[in-house]
């Protein structure tokens, strides 16, 4: 079996979500620290251009976006599950809604000018039309109210005494809602947002206690070598019912819908209702298969 290799940096909230999955499932994994801002030459050699954090590598299979990373880790170890039976749409909806907190928090941080200039410049390239600090300052009071409203709903979700958002056991929804609040605690003058709630802090402590599993560090050069020596494990196939009649061998480009850049081009290997995987070749890493979620990504057929 190939090692689970997480390409991340420690202050990344979305990486914290995946680290907590490692803890929930008591997994052993290798940690590769990547730069916070571009360029990220080793990471993009693996992904073909995708630059967001985190990325999971398993041999020569590369998983982009936390939705497909979570899915892959569920395959690695199914219990305890991230997806409680009977809650598929509810878990996904709650996860998506909870993660909207992240952009509220980013706007507050930008308005307070707490981010280093190189970070702001790098992330501005991911915002259509650029990023306006003065606008962030203008809307910051509204973002405090938006967060307050969302905290009220989370507090009420926990109001019947349940230990986790969907019941007795933690699931992906807990980790998705938790990680923006984990980031919130690092921003000055936001602690008052959590002062009026009583159920959220104990819930956050329960989630934090999941830990990060068994972590060991690895240099990015070693991860590149592992990919180069490995053969992708993904088997070709397209699940029935694909609305675009995609087939293995089709040429496609995939890129994040939110900022519409950094397309990854390759040959379709696998697709089902939730995921698409494409084969590509890089001079440094050889042949890899890169996995993306359908949701949140644009997929274009190319000739």
Q: How many domains does the chain have?
A: 2
Is 248 found in the same domain as 149? no
Cα-flanking dihedrals φ and ψ of residue 146, to 5°?
Answer: -60, -45
pTM of full prediction above 0.85: yes
Is 228 found in the same domain as 148? no
* Whole-angstrom distance, CA of residue 173 vs CA of residue 89: 11
Average of per-residue pLDDT across 127-144: 83
The predicted-structure confidence for 87-110, as pLDDT tens digits, reads as follows 999 999 999 999 999 989 988 988
> What sign does the dihedral 259-260-263-268 (CA atoms) show?
positive
Is 294 found in the same domain as 148? no
Nearest to 111 by CA among 11, 187, 12, 14: 187
Range of lowest pLDDT (83-92, 157-166, 193-202, 220-229): 193-202
* Whole-angstrom distance, CA of residue 109 vs CA of residue 101: 12
Is 235 found in the same domain as 146? no
Is 13 found in the same domain as 44? yes
Q: Which domain holds residue 273?
A: 4-80+215-301
Average of per-residue pLDDT across 238-255: 95
Is 201 found in the same domain as 110? yes
Is 256 found in the same domain as 202? no
* Whole-angstrom distance, CA of residue 183 vs CA of residue 130: 23
Contacts for 75 with CB less than 8 Å, ≥ 6 apart: none
Judge contact between 95 and 88, C-beta under 8 A. no
pLDDT band at 130 (very low <50, low <70, confident <90, very high): low
Residue 192 is given by DSSP the state G
Is 203 found in the same domain as 93? yes
Is 177 found in the same domain as 220? no
**What is the CA 114 to chain-centroid distance, rounded?**
23
Is 126 found in the same domain as 68? no
Judge contact between 108 and 189, C-beta under 8 A. no
Is 136 found in the same domain as 41? no
Is 179 found in the same domain as 67? no
**What is the CA 130 to chain-centroid distance, rounded?**
22
The predicted-structure confidence for 188-216, as pLDDT tens digits, reads as follows 877 788 888 999 999 999 999 999 999 99
Give the dihedral of Cα atoms 210, 166, 108, 184; nearest 10 deg: -20
Which CATH number fits the domain that encloses residue 257? 3.40.30.110
């Amino acid at each position: 079996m190939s090692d689970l290799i997480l390409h991340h940096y420690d202050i990344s909230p979305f990486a914290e979500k995946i680290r907590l999955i490692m803890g929930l499932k008591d997994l052993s994994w290798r940690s590769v620290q990547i730069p916070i801002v571009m360029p990220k030459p080793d990471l993009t050699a693996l992904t073909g251009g995708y630059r967001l954090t985190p990325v999971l590598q398993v041999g020569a299979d590369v998983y982009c976006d936390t939705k497909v990373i979570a899915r892959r880790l569920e395959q690695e170890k199914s219990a305890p599950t991230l997806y409680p039976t009977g809650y598929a749409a509810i878990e996904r909806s709650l996860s998506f809604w909870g993660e909207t907190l992240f952009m509220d928090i980013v706007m507050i941080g930008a308005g307070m000018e707490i981010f280093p200039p190189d970070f702001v410049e790098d992330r501005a390239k991911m915002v259509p039309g650029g990023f306006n600090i003065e606008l962030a300052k203008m809307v910051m009071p509204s973002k405090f109210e938006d967060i307050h409203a969302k905290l009220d709903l989370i507090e009420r979700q926990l109001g019947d005494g349940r230990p986790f958002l969907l019941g007795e056991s933690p699931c992906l929804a807990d980790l998705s809602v938790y990680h923006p609040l984990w980031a919130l605690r690092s921003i000055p003058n936001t602690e008052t947002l959590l002062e009026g709630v009583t159920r959220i802090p104990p819930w956050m402590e329960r989630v934090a206690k999941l830990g990060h599993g068994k972590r060991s560090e690895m240099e990015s050069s070693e991860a590149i070598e592992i990919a180069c020596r490995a053969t992708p494990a993904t088997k070709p196939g397209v699940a029935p019912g694909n609305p675009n009649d995609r087939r293995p061998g089709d040429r496609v480009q995939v890129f994040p819908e939110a900022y519409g850049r950094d397309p990854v081009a390759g040959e379709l290997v696998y697709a089902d209702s939730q995921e698409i995987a494409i084969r590509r070749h890089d001079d440094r890493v050889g042949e890899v298969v890169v996995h993306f979620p359908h949701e949140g990504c644009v997929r274009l057929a190319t000739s």
